[in-house]
Structure 1
Amino acid sequence: MVPHLITALTGPINELEARILDSMPAIERWFRLEWMEHTPPFYCSVDLRNAGFKLAPVDTNLFPGGFNNLTPEMLPLAVQAAMAAIEKICPEAKNLLLIPEQAHTRNTFYLSSVQRLMRIFTQAGLNVRLGTLDDAVKAPTPVALPDGSELVLEPLLRTRGRLGLKDFDPCTILLNNDLSEGVPRALQHLHEQYLLPPLHAGWGVRRMSRHFQSYEEVAKKFAKLLGMDPWLINPMFGQCTEVNPGDAAGLDCVQTNVDALLTKVRRKYKEYGINEKPFVVVKADTGNDGLGPVTVRDAKDLGEAYARARARAAASNVAVTEATQVIIQEGVPTYERVNDAVAEPVVTMIDRYVVGGYYRVHAERGVDENLNAPGARYVPLAFAGSHHLPRAGEKPGANAPNRFYMYGVIGRLAMLAASYELEATDPDAEVYE
């Protein structure tokens, strides 16, 4: 299924699709060479936005959910990718301990994703059990799922330098917890166990601005390979590291950067003949602060935009810890539709392989708003029956595998940027002068 794209079937995005299809052998060789030098994140998902005039990632999640949204046809590929990932790290692996987000252990939609993830690694040949960081869980606790099945959450058991469960000693620990609350003592100073992703992938260390700085580097390399403008796949950005959202003067840095970035985007719009009013998105550099992304079309409207975001958070009973470090990102509208509702593709990867994806759909949000919000629903992205390979020469936008291949390429560029990012922030990496 290809959703309706409400832009004309001409213009930059279709030229980009044609160029990517024509360059497929060169692209795949380029990725192979990059992966010889850089280690991909264990798994990740990438939120994309297709504006018709550009296609770009807007968020890269190193602790992805949504595995329950993958089509059953994609599961064999996910299992193969999981096998490849585990074999590289711990070929003799027998036991895998999966640690989910403790804040979402009552969210059955999230737990359905965890169940699917457990199934993938079980089919990859591992004994998989679920350990929770929630201190309130003192004994194995069953949790019912919507399909009538259940998961069992077990209390973690720390024994000297190892972490496991009662009668379960894993060689590999898979985190599905973004560590936004910090690194628990139970995960620190582990010996002879593989912790995936590493602790410095958590939001205690990670910064969106660092990721998009790495992505800009990757996009420039890729654009040079294809002889194209990197802006077509890269959202420009700025950042502020000292912000006080509760004080008018505390937003001066943000306001200045919003104005500067809007000026750059207007210049690009003029270059490409795009007759739209650009916008930027302000969001916490350290992940989610409860406010979520704030959309701004004019720097002088920043205070009002923050006020609307606070009101929306209050109406949804969302706890807010307003960020003191923010990234100001070029807004990329989404012009994809599923049943007349705004949609954006999410690409899911394990190791260096695309294993599927889905559309995030929100009937109550606009083309310039964050869709990852209450009320969103999810439509499996068929990666259109993986047995259908992309075909060059067809009218751009008309062929599902062609569109999905393009999504997969941009998703892998963001994953490669994440590998650059993790290398740069690795506390154990050797630094050569």
Structure 2
Amino acid sequence: MVPHLATALTGPLLTLERRFLDNETAIERWLRGQWLEHAPPFYCSVDLRNSGFKLAPVDTNLFPGGFNNLDPAMLPLCVQAAMSAIEKLCPEAKNLLLIPENHTRNQYYLMNVARLAAILHHTGLNVRIGSLLPEIDRPTTLALPDGQSLTLEPLRRFGSTGDDGLGRRLGLASDPSFDPCAILLNNDLSAGVPAILENLHEQFVIPPLAAGWHARRKSQHFAAYRRVAREFAALIGIDPWLIDPEFAVCGKIDFQQRAGIECLAENIDKLLHHIRAKYTEYGITATPFVVVKADAGTYGMGIMMVKDASEVRELSRRQRNKMAVVKEGLPVSEVILQEGVPTFESVDEGVAEPVVYMIDRYVVGGFYRVHTQRGPDENLNAPGMHFKPLAFETGCSLPDTTQNPDAPPNRFYAYGVVGRLALLAAAHELEETGET
């Protein structure tokens, strides 16, 4: 299922998709070589925006929380990819401890945890779910809307004691015999790293702790993506701007006290100037805009769209308060300014954007994020959104050169290529932190 496109099938994007098709062999060979040099994250999701003239990632999540939104037809591919990832990290693994976000009421998220646990179970692992919530002091079973149930268990440290006074391995308080080889985080650590996860001995923590939002920055990711995009663009002979959103960063900012607002406005002006120049080059008549968002964090919080720098100079108190905090009430002190990429895809009479899911180096599915109350130049990761699974009938890796560039297998292949470029950028990020 490919959405209705509001743009005519001409112009830069159609040309870009055709270039992907014509260079499939070179692209796959290049990516294969990249994975020999750079270990991909265990899993990843990438939000894409397709403007009809540009196809680019706008966010990359190393703790994806929407596996429940994938089409069930993609589960065998998920299992195969997870098996590949586990074999690289801990080939003799028997037990895996999955640590989710601190949610007990968000049932859609818990369905994601259940789906993820099922995928890992099918790889031959004994999977248990350990909770960081202090109120989970005994095994607690939660009923899910789809008829499944999920059991959360309290964590404990055991084994010989380290310098921090804690046992050097992590397991379950309710089952002392459960000794996991690997610990998979589905918690983005926005509020920092709990002591119970630090200084573990001979246990793989994946993704590494440095991938959490307490340390990671979107600006670092997009700097890495820029390098990847330029090398890739040179490989197939395209303008890297077609797959790379412009971005900028400013110094520290305090929205409530209006500190750093003038710096923010000046950088927005510069970024809009660059975008207008590219629009002129490609004959694009749309109005450019900039997305201002927290440099760390997720859940679509701390985001605003700006078409003129005066908009940030004139923020109301309500707007400043909305921008000042993100998930778990954490204050925003750093922001990234990103070129706004409008979306011209629509599904179910709503504006849509594709989200691509990957495990190891493989695209394993995705879905459209759809919002019937938002426009093509607005944030769709907001209350009122819903999801439409993408079956990716060919696994997103088998384009059909006999069809038009925008035919389903070719459109999905384009999604998969750009998604894997963002995955590769994330691999560079982790290397730069000294973590893999």
Among candidates 158, 174, 183, match of residue 184 of structure 2: 174
Aligned letter for 1:5?
L
1:66-77 counterparts in 2 under 5 A? 66-77=66-77
Aligned letter for 1:415?
L
The alpha-carbon distance between structure 1 residues 177 and 319, as it changes in their structure 2 partners (threshold 3 A), is closer
- SS of the aligned residue for 1:359 comes to strand
Partner of 1:163: 170
Partner of 2:161: none
- SS of the aligned residue for 2:170 comes to strand
1:76-155 counterparts in 2 under 5 A? 76-102=76-102, 104-155=103-154
User: What CA deviation, in whole Å up to 9, does each residue of 1:333-361 have, x standing for no partner?
Assistant: 01100022000000000000000000000
In the TM superposition, residue 392 of structure 1 has moved relative to its aligned partner by 1.2
2: CA distance, partners of 1:322 / 1:88: 38
2: CA distance, partners of 1:59 / 1:267: 24
Among candidates 237, 254, 260, match of residue 244 of structure 1: 254
Partner of 2:21: 21
CA contact (8 A) 2:169 2:201 kept: yes
Residue 8 in structure 1 maps to residue 17 in structure 2? no
Partner of 2:162: none
Among candidates 271, 285, 289, match of residue 261 of structure 1: 271
Residue 65 in structure 1 maps to residue 74 in structure 2? no
2: CA distance, partners of 1:318 / 1:171: 30
Between stretches 241-250 and 110-119, larger displacement belongs to 241-250
Partner of 2:368: 359
Aligned letter for 1:99?
I
Among candidates 230, 233, 250, match of residue 223 of structure 1: 233
2: CA distance, partners of 1:65 / 1:318: 14
In the TM superposition, residue 386 of structure 1 has moved relative to its aligned partner by 3.5
Among candidates 401, 413, 425, match of residue 392 of structure 1: 401
Between stretches 177-186 and 70-79, larger displacement belongs to 70-79
2: CA distance, partners of 1:212 / 1:387: 23
User: What CA deviation, in whole Å up to 9, does each residue of 1:32-90 have, x standing for no partner?
Assistant: 11011101001000000000000000000000011011111111110000000000010
1:173-212 counterparts in 2 under 5 A? 173-212=183-222
Alignment: residue pair count:
425
Partner of 1:302: 312
- SS of the aligned residue for 2:153 comes to strand
CA contact (8 A) 1:291 1:322 kept: no
Residue 55 in structure 1 maps to residue 62 in structure 2? no
The alpha-carbon distance between structure 1 residues 388 and 247, as it changes in their structure 2 partners (threshold 3 A), is closer
2: CA distance, partners of 1:290 / 1:20: 30
1: CA distance, partners of 2:420 / 2:305: 26
The alpha-carbon distance between structure 1 residues 66 and 285, as it changes in their structure 2 partners (threshold 3 A), is same
Aligned letter for 1:409?
V
The alpha-carbon distance between structure 1 residues 339 and 206, as it changes in their structure 2 partners (threshold 3 A), is same
- SS of the aligned residue for 2:346 comes to strand
The alpha-carbon distance between structure 1 residues 291 and 115, as it changes in their structure 2 partners (threshold 3 A), is closer
Residue 335 in structure 1 maps to residue 334 in structure 2? no
CA contact (8 A) 1:289 1:320 kept: no
Once superposed, what is the RMSD of the aligned Cα atoms? 2.0
CA contact (8 A) 1:294 1:306 kept: no
2: CA distance, partners of 1:304 / 1:98: 45
- SS of the aligned residue for 2:201 comes to coil
Among candidates 392, 415, 419, match of residue 423 of structure 2: 415
- SS of the aligned residue for 1:99 comes to strand
User: What CA deviation, in whole Å up to 9, does each residue of 1:257-313 have, x standing for no partner?
Assistant: 101000000000000000011000011112249843110000011144565645778
In the TM superposition, residue 208 of structure 1 has moved relative to its aligned partner by 0.4
2: CA distance, partners of 1:101 / 1:42: 17
- SS of the aligned residue for 2:260 comes to helix
2: CA distance, partners of 1:30 / 1:23: 10
Partner of 1:276: 286
1: CA distance, partners of 2:193 / 2:259: 33
- SS of the aligned residue for 1:206 comes to coil
2: CA distance, partners of 1:231 / 1:389: 25
2: CA distance, partners of 1:140 / 1:255: 51
1: CA distance, partners of 2:296 / 2:365: 27
1: CA distance, partners of 2:316 / 2:121: 45
Residue 425 in structure 1 maps to residue 433 in structure 2? yes
The alpha-carbon distance between structure 1 residues 72 and 253, as it changes in their structure 2 partners (threshold 3 A), is same
1: CA distance, partners of 2:289 / 2:323: 21
Aligned letter for 2:142?
V
The alpha-carbon distance between structure 1 residues 351 and 267, as it changes in their structure 2 partners (threshold 3 A), is same
The alpha-carbon distance between structure 1 residues 410 and 198, as it changes in their structure 2 partners (threshold 3 A), is same
CA contact (8 A) 1:290 1:321 kept: no
Aligned letter for 1:118?
A
User: What CA deviation, in whole Å up to 9, does each residue of 1:207-233 have, x standing for no partner?
Assistant: 000000000000000000010100000
TM-score by length of 2: 0.94
CA contact (8 A) 2:191 2:328 kept: no
In the TM superposition, residue 237 of structure 1 has moved relative to its aligned partner by 0.3
2: CA distance, partners of 1:330 / 1:257: 12
Report sequence identity in percent: 61
- SS of the aligned residue for 1:295 comes to strand
CA contact (8 A) 1:47 1:59 kept: yes
The alpha-carbon distance between structure 1 residues 211 and 258, as it changes in their structure 2 partners (threshold 3 A), is same
CA contact (8 A) 2:214 2:296 kept: yes
Partner of 2:412: 404
2: CA distance, partners of 1:321 / 1:140: 29
